[in-house]
Structure 1
Amino acid sequence: MAAPVAAARYAIYFAPAPETALWRFGSAAIGYDAATGADQPIPEVAGFSPERLREITAEPRRYGFHATLKPPFRLADPTDAAGLLEAVARVAASCRPFGLPELRLDAIGGFLALTVAGRPQSLHDLADTCVERFDPWRAAMDEAEMARRASAGLSERERDHLARWGYPYVFDRFRFHMTLTGRLADAERAALASALSDRFAAIAAPVAVDALTVFVQPDPAARFRVLARFPFG
């Protein structure tokens, strides 16, 4: 992989290990394996052309299969990628693995994702830790980016989070999800949910949160890729 450049963005995600059935399921569903950087054929779904399936999954394909812990950010001066990776390694070494409640396919704001029920404390503690501990590496958003995000119908609390942390859906607004599609009309969403539910049922198993994974987007036109994965201590 080419060396990250100044325009690169980094993110701290939960991502299943590449050898797991869950990673293979998610990567196939969005048509992209962020561990290898390679496209994947999206399994056929009755009533959907291959071209339509690629359209539906274009947005999650840009980010790779994951659940966000620390949302994408550019590096602040004078930090660097090496320092960020060292910090992530230290945090991961201080964590202990824990299990997720049963994953389920759900609709969130018009798109399909794997979610968990309720607010598991260990999961939310980890997300909160990542938001806070890695914030010194985050460059502040420029005015245009701030205005674009602030115009998205946010609540006052979410605007406060955006101003302080660069992202509105953190802490009390955090919701674990692993995105599988873009926004869909009701009929398409129902049809695709049925197909994805059947496929997921075939591989569903307990999921351990046992590592932090750093993804990198080398430039704004590129997709995110796995940069490094740090197992918990």
Structure 2
Amino acid sequence: MTARYAIYAAPAPDDPLWRFGSSIIGYDAASARDLPFPDAAPCNAPDWRALTDDPRRYGFHGTLKAPFSLADGASEADLLEAVMVFADRRPAVTLPRLEVVTLKSFVALVPAEPSEGLSALAADCVRGFDALRAPMSAADRERRLKSPLTERQIGHLDAWGYPYIFEDFRYHMTLTGSLPEERREPVRAALAAAYQPIAAPFRLDALVVFRQAARDQRFAILGRFPCEG
């Protein structure tokens, strides 16, 4: 099966934020290993593994360039070189504060205030690596259209392979899958309390390439490229 790649923001593996996010979802994408959930609410709930199935598939991250297969003629080495060159020219972006919120039906960490630098970085990643992206398959497009999308988002989907970009971009680091309505606020509050001891500015100082060998496997970190600009 064809591998997929994604360009994400992710803390370094020794960062407390990485350890926090990875433990909440039960998977460390740097080592590609399962992790035990924290023995505290909400992660000690009997159904917590099921509630984190979706983020565990992708690893703890914030999306800059959504998952894609490589275009014909493009290689993994081409992608890694392109990301290295791109990152070498970009300055780091610091998010002063993250907060735990509910987005639709799931819980995530998001910037507490807008960041023009982050939005510009994400937009440039979407554009800058698109020549390496294979066209979206009909099946993937049909799957995306099952979500309610605006006309603009459908246009983004068809042009760039992902609907939530540019004006519709909202950076988030997912901590749960879809939650029943009655669970959302209790889970959010418990995760916010668990995050508070490590709360600190998040310095986005690298672009991280994740790889998924096949659709039934999880993403794992392939390379980390410091932003040196």
TM-score normalized by the length of structure 2: 0.96
Question: How far apart in 1 are the matches of 2:43 and 2:4?
Answer: 33
Structure 1 moving runs of 4+ over 2 Å: 44-51
Deviation at 1:194, TM superposition (A): 2.0
Question: Which amino acid in structure 2 is aligned with residue 150 of structure 1?
Answer: L
Equivalent residue number for residue 44 of structure 1: 39
Equivalent residue number for residue 201 of structure 2: 206
Whether 1:76 aligns to 2:71 is: yes
CA displacement, residues 140-196 of structure 1 (integer Å, 9 cap, x when unaligned):
111122122123110000000000000000111000000000111232222222221
- The 3 A distance-change label for structure 1 pair 114 and 125 is same
Equivalent residue number for residue 90 of structure 1: 85
Question: How far apart in 2 are the matches of 1:151 and 1:54?
Answer: 25
TM-score normalized by the length of structure 1: 0.94
Contact 1:45–1:192 under 8 Å retained in 2: no
Whether 1:32 aligns to 2:11 is: no
Equivalent residue number for residue 3 of structure 1: none
Provide structure 1 residue ranges, at least 5 long, that are not aligned to the other structure.
1-5
Equivalent residue number for residue 59 of structure 1: 54
Contact 1:30–1:180 under 8 Å retained in 2: yes
Deviation at 1:198, TM superposition (A): 1.2
Deviation at 1:50, TM superposition (A): 5.0
* Residue correspondences, number: 228
Contact 1:128–1:171 under 8 Å retained in 2: yes
Contact 1:158–1:168 under 8 Å retained in 2: yes
Whether 1:215 aligns to 2:226 is: no
Identity of aligned residues (%): 48
- The 3 A distance-change label for structure 1 pair 49 and 199 is closer
Question: How far apart in 1 are the matches of 2:105 and 2:42?
Answer: 19
Question: Which amino acid in structure 2 is aligned with residue 86 of structure 1?
Answer: E
* Alignment partner of 1:168 out of 151, 154, 163: 163
Question: How far apart in 2 are the matches of 1:201 and 1:47?
Answer: 15
213-222 or 37-46, larger mean C-alpha shift: 37-46
Deviation at 1:47, TM superposition (A): 7.0
Deviation at 1:9, TM superposition (A): 0.3
Contact 1:32–1:64 under 8 Å retained in 2: yes
* Alignment partner of 1:103 out of 92, 98, 101: 98
193-202 or 104-113, larger mean C-alpha shift: 193-202
Contact 2:42–2:187 under 8 Å retained in 1: no
Provide structure 2 residue ranges, at least 5 long, that are not aligned to the other structure.
none
> CA RMSD for the aligned pairs?
1.3
Question: Which amino acid in structure 1 is aligned with residue 169 of structure 2?
Answer: F
Question: How far apart in 1 are the matches of 2:48 and 2:159?
Answer: 37
Question: How far apart in 2 are the matches of 1:47 and 1:113?
Answer: 14
